[in-house]
Amino acid sequence: MEDSIIYIDNREAETYTFRYDYYFMMGDNRYDSKDSRYIGPVPENRIIGESRRILFSNKDGFKYFRFLKKMS
């Protein structure tokens, strides 16, 4: 991007069609957590796992009913 003009491969681009579905990957909100705010959106073909359980939830106090809860 230069002077509010977007360039792709050194050519001015007015439109762009994404080849993959992209996802925002959220970190764990710990120190030095690297998520999509740092690395950018992640293409679907780079996702190799899935969430199966919630380790814990600590927003507004520890929630015991969510500890190791299975994802639906």
**Residue 36 near residue 25 (C-beta atoms within 8 A):** yes
- DSSP SS3 for 46: helix
pLDDT value, residue 39: 87
Is the CB of residue 6 less than 8 Å from the CB of residue 15? no
CB 53 within 8 Å of CB 72: no
Distance between CA 18 and CA 37 in Å, rounded?
19
Return the pLDDT at 5.
92
pLDDT in tens, 8-38: 999 999 998 888 899 988 777 667 778 888 8
Rounded to whole angstroms, the Cα distance separating 47 from 58 reads 26
Stated pTM of the model = 0.50
Would you state the pLDDT for residue 14?
92
Q: Comparing 61 with 42, which gets the higher pLDDT?
A: 42
